[in-house]
Structure 1
Amino acid sequence: MSTGTPLLVVGDALLDRDLVGTAERLAPDAPVPVLDGCRELLRPGGAALAALLAARAGRSVTLVAPLGTDAASRQVRALLEPLVTLVTLPLDGPLPEKTRVMAGGRPVVRLDQGTGRAAGPCERALRAVAEAPAVLVADYARGAAEVLREVLAACAPHTALVWDPHPRGGPPVPGARLVTPTGEEARRFAGDGAADGDSLGAVARTAAELVRRWRAVSVAVTLGRRGALLCQGDGPLVVPAASQHSGDACGAGDCFAATAAGLLGDGALPAEAVQGAVAAATRYVAEGGARTATTGPSSTAVPGVPVPEADALHLARRVRAASGTVVAAGGCFDLLHAGHVSLLQQARGLGDCLIVCLNSDASVRRRKGEGRPFTPLRDRIRVLQALQCVDAVAVFEEDTPEGLLSRLRPHVWVKGGDYAVEQLPEAAQLASWGGQAVLLPYLDGRSSTLLATRAAAGLAAARRTTAPAGASPPVERR
């Protein structure tokens, strides 16, 4: 089931191929590595990968891209059509292909072939762009963005338009809501206006120059493991990655841009969109990067929408398949405070993903009493998803999360407090599949109940201070 605003992706499709094996010896006839156990992995590339990742996140996606009748075009169609609606531009020549030879998880060499370019627009593509509420231009310098440039420029003022530029492509159209160059691309685009160095200050000055030069609403410079820097012409906003991973980052930029475009289409501010995009790209690398680009659901969720359990289960399976560590933490998280944040940040540091098991409103009410939760489920989900240390949220209706844990089967279950691990009711359950329940230090003096009590006391004191002398106390109306 699709959720969120539909997304239109405009750009150049590629066919990406990985030849994966192990290299433990050199060839006898030349000093080159021999790739043993070689297997071929195919995936959509370029704009087609961005479209696939957005569709896997549960969004309705249409891709406008040049595709022909050659073998590579047919393979891309087959990889996309179960999830993505295709609007094809005419293609002049064979579809570009990029082949990486991978040894031990690292690229050894890349082979490029195919010179196909967009041959022109078509009426269906022009109409799709003009009517789209959210557009991502994934420019791979093969002509798709240029043949549709006029209609893209016309829709920019009233559309959530994100432009992911290419050094050999044209500049984004004026009025783009967000432009997403990498640090190296930003320096090349700015030319003489680029600041020296790669410090955050230098990146901020370069980004400000690009906002002015491109007449963009905002520019987000992606910085790999450092996260991203957002500039809207004034003071920059740095959005760091919650964690760093050494996995395959191929396609992380496409994930970033697709997530940001979808969130802007949903009504998010640029800062909110960039925060969500950094979190999504970080998860993408943590789960295995490009090798996860197959059809199926994704863990990326629409902020504030009750999260399907399948998303969290899918994330847990992916991390386990990559030999990673799945960490889970549970609670009501009503009136999120510093103690909660500290606990979740520490929990995320114990593994490769963090899944929060969240009590439903009814579950909180049974545990905490009438009047709770103070914050409804949709808002609690949205606040938790905004934390970069949280990779997924799953809601359970029962009083305890044992049923959900039996399906997630995390390696680590985290609780905060000062009691013994043996007292945790989940400890035996975790041990049954080889997992471990752990306790983390909790910040003293922080709790939702204490916050609510202090707020009520402060309100009562304010009323006493402002009430006229001799006035009767206000009568509560029910």
Structure 2
Amino acid sequence: MSRKAPLVVVGDALLDRDLTGTAERLAPDAPVPVVADCVQRTRPGGAALTACLAARDGREVTLITGVGDDGEASEELRRLLASEMQVIALPLTGALPEKTRVLAQDSPVVRLDRGTGRVREATDQARRAIRSAPAVLVSDYGRGAADSLRDVLAERPPLVWDPHPRGGPPVPGARLVTPARSEARALAGLEGDGNALRDTARDAAALVRRWRVAAVAVTLGPHGALLSYGDHPLLVPAATAHHGDACGAGDRFAATAAGLLADGALVEEAVEAAVAAATEFVGAGGAGAVARAATGVDAPTAALADAVDPHDLAARVRAAGGTVVAAGGCFDLLHAGHVGLLQAARRLGDCLVVCVNSDASVRRRKGDDRPVNPLPDRVRVLDALACVDAVAVFDEDTPEQLLARLRPDIWVKGSDYSGADLPEAALLREWGGQAVLLPYLDGRSSTAIVSRARNRARAAKGTR
């Protein structure tokens, strides 16, 4: 396999935080949701997220960005980036920008911004890094990094320029510019005729000519991207439409496109791969998955992204006076025992949420050779069962934290467990729920199936 080309990313870094919890009531003093049981995750944002995604593609990445000496935020960003890439810091005036999202049932409720820091000036080290770089990607959030280095960027135009509303125009000669549809509409400033696709094609062609760049790829969210060289556009549709957290999808698109162009791909090839990567990124949980990956927690699967949100389902069933049932397990090799248990569990209430162990959790419980089937496959099979209404993933050894957020009325386990082996039982009693055991078909277990398969494989090998 050929070595991937190194990449220099120039742009404005942010520190992003997500506070994720559940909202089941309004505050008594104002008509606003009360978001409870919040879990905080911190991740690189802005150009730093783009750089992280490129690094996780297996590239050597250098990030040129503003980082201050303002204490906690800059220190936390440096810590998050330290093991992933080289950082060339540009001096900031003011504090590093921070963006905090509050989410309930994984849907944003409010965003809090603070920190007005801007890059004060370029450095000789940054200029040398750009001049010697095999490939450059610019992620311009309008906080001075690209502007301070505009002269040297104009000397050797970048492969990809990812613009944002507050940033300046790309330098002439850039190979690919990647605005979102709303950004392209605002930047082109043309009168539309109400046909979204035709308007986008006109905007992209106009921007190619105005900016004097080789190509513009307008990202269209779940619909893919439109690529224009200034004439007839190429529409690159997404293979599937995910409706998960789209935060960071544009960064994923830009990082993929720049990396492939650096490796020698054609623009069309790079855009097609970038659409696929951005689609998969949203399906896997978006930028929130970056934070989970950094802490060793498996990202939600693409199979979950198009399925029913388990927390929203549980809240709706409770609000209607129904009974929420939950069942849990690894479900590594789904067999008749599992199916019988889940069918019986569904008959106990008005919805069934299956809580499934992440791959890391299965490995801790059953050994390094498990699971046999990875999480996306296990979720997809469970979600296809008619008796399963939603699937939720947990990374801990037990699902107690997940159950505390779901608050089911009934928690189901197979009768191969005893009451003493159910630490969840006491938790259920806190909100009036009940843990129950259901009969399990004798002789059915994933471990037994794996063991039989291995024995048969050994026996077959011995007869050769």
Same fold? TM cut 0.5:
yes
Which whole-Å CA distance do the structure 2 matches of 1:295 and 1:118 have between them?
29
Which whole-Å CA distance do the structure 2 matches of 1:2 and 1:43 have between them?
30
Report if aligned partners of 1:17, 1:42 keep a CA contact under 8 Å in 2.
yes
Report if aligned partners of 1:3, 1:60 keep a CA contact under 8 Å in 2.
no
Decide which of 230, 249, 265 is 1:233's aligned counterpart: 230
Report if aligned partners of 1:6, 1:60 keep a CA contact under 8 Å in 2.
yes
Which whole-Å CA distance do the structure 1 matches of 2:64 and 2:141 have between them?
13
- 1:236 Cα shift? 0.8
Decide which of 156, 167, 170 is 2:168's aligned counterpart: 170
* Alignment of structure 1 residues 68-467 onto 2, 5 Å: 68-70=68-70, 71-156=72-157, 161-192=159-190, 195-294=192-291, 318-320=299-301, 323=304, 406=372, 408=374, 410-411=377-378, 432=449
Corresponding residue for residue 5 of structure 1: 5
Which whole-Å CA distance do the structure 1 matches of 2:264 and 2:63 have between them?
21
Report if aligned partners of 1:2, 1:58 keep a CA contact under 8 Å in 2.
no
- 1:408 Cα shift? 3.7
Which whole-Å CA distance do the structure 2 matches of 1:110 and 1:183 have between them?
22
Report if aligned partners of 1:136, 1:163 keep a CA contact under 8 Å in 2.
yes
> For residues 259-290 of structure 1, what are the alpha-carbon distances to aligned partners after superposition, in whole Å with 9 as ceiling and x for unaligned?
10111100111101100100110010011111
Counterpart of 2:188, as a letter, is: A
CA, structure 1 residues 320+10, in 2 after alignment: closer, same or farther (shift >3 Å)? closer
- 1:201 Cα shift? 2.1
Report if aligned partners of 1:5, 1:266 keep a CA contact under 8 Å in 2.
yes
Which whole-Å CA distance do the structure 1 matches of 2:68 and 2:161 have between them?
24
Which whole-Å CA distance do the structure 1 matches of 2:263 and 2:38 have between them?
43
Corresponding residue for residue 35 of structure 2: 35
Which whole-Å CA distance do the structure 1 matches of 2:226 and 2:279 have between them?
15
Which whole-Å CA distance do the structure 1 matches of 2:302 and 2:202 have between them?
42
Report if aligned partners of 1:162, 1:177 keep a CA contact under 8 Å in 2.
yes
CA, structure 1 residues 85+211, in 2 after alignment: closer, same or farther (shift >3 Å)? same
Counterpart of 2:41, as a letter, is: L
- 1:29 Cα shift? 1.9
Which whole-Å CA distance do the structure 2 matches of 1:17 and 1:265 have between them?
31
Which whole-Å CA distance do the structure 2 matches of 1:121 and 1:86 have between them?
14
Counterpart of 2:145, as a letter, is: A
SS at 1:23's partner residue? strand
Report if aligned partners of 1:3, 1:58 keep a CA contact under 8 Å in 2.
no
Counterpart of 1:118, as a letter, is: V
- 1:319 Cα shift? 4.6
Which whole-Å CA distance do the structure 2 matches of 1:44 and 1:2 have between them?
29
Counterpart of 1:145, as a letter, is: A
Report if aligned partners of 1:5, 1:265 keep a CA contact under 8 Å in 2.
yes
- 1:234 Cα shift? 2.2
- Runs of 4+ in structure 1 off by over 6 angstroms are 428-431
Report if aligned partners of 1:211, 1:232 keep a CA contact under 8 Å in 2.
yes
Counterpart of 1:225, as a letter, is: P
Which whole-Å CA distance do the structure 1 matches of 2:41 and 2:167 have between them?
28
Report if aligned partners of 1:223, 1:229 keep a CA contact under 8 Å in 2.
yes
> For residues 302-350 of structure 1, what are the alpha-carbon distances to aligned partners after superposition, in whole Å with 9 as ceiling and x for unaligned?
xxxxxxxxxxxx99x6455985699xxxxxxxxxxxxxxxxxxxxxxxx
> For residues 6-47 of structure 1, what are the alpha-carbon distances to aligned partners after superposition, in whole Å with 9 as ceiling and x for unaligned?
011100000011111111011122221111101211100000
Which whole-Å CA distance do the structure 1 matches of 2:13 and 2:177 have between them?
19
Report if aligned partners of 1:121, 1:148 keep a CA contact under 8 Å in 2.
yes
Which whole-Å CA distance do the structure 2 matches of 1:98 and 1:405 have between them?
37
SS at 2:156's partner residue? helix
Report if aligned partners of 2:280, 2:302 keep a CA contact under 8 Å in 1.
no
Counterpart of 1:89, as a letter, is: L
Corresponding residue for residue 56 of structure 1: 56
CA, structure 1 residues 322+79, in 2 after alignment: closer, same or farther (shift >3 Å)? farther
Corresponding residue for residue 25 of structure 1: 25
CA, structure 1 residues 296+241, in 2 after alignment: closer, same or farther (shift >3 Å)? same
Q: TM-score, normalised by structure 2?
A: 0.65
CA, structure 1 residues 127+237, in 2 after alignment: closer, same or farther (shift >3 Å)? same
Which whole-Å CA distance do the structure 2 matches of 1:242 and 1:45 have between them?
27
Runs of 5+ consecutive residues of structure 1 not aligned to the other structure: 298-313, 327-402, 414-427, 434-478
Which whole-Å CA distance do the structure 2 matches of 1:166 and 1:18 have between them?
21
SS at 2:109's partner residue? strand
Report if aligned partners of 1:195, 1:206 keep a CA contact under 8 Å in 2.
no
Report if aligned partners of 1:97, 1:112 keep a CA contact under 8 Å in 2.
yes
CA, structure 1 residues 33+295, in 2 after alignment: closer, same or farther (shift >3 Å)? closer
- 1:134 Cα shift? 1.2
- 1:187 Cα shift? 1.0
- 1:430 Cα shift? 12
Which whole-Å CA distance do the structure 2 matches of 1:53 and 1:250 have between them?
13
Report if aligned partners of 1:2, 1:59 keep a CA contact under 8 Å in 2.
no
- 1:295 Cα shift? 8.0
Runs of 5+ consecutive residues of structure 2 not aligned to the other structure: 308-368, 382-444, 451-464
Between stretches 87-96 and 31-40, larger displacement belongs to: 31-40
CA, structure 1 residues 431+150, in 2 after alignment: closer, same or farther (shift >3 Å)? farther
CA-based RMSD: 2.8
Q: How many residues align?
A: 322
- 1:81 Cα shift? 0.9
Which whole-Å CA distance do the structure 1 matches of 2:272 and 2:302 have between them?
27
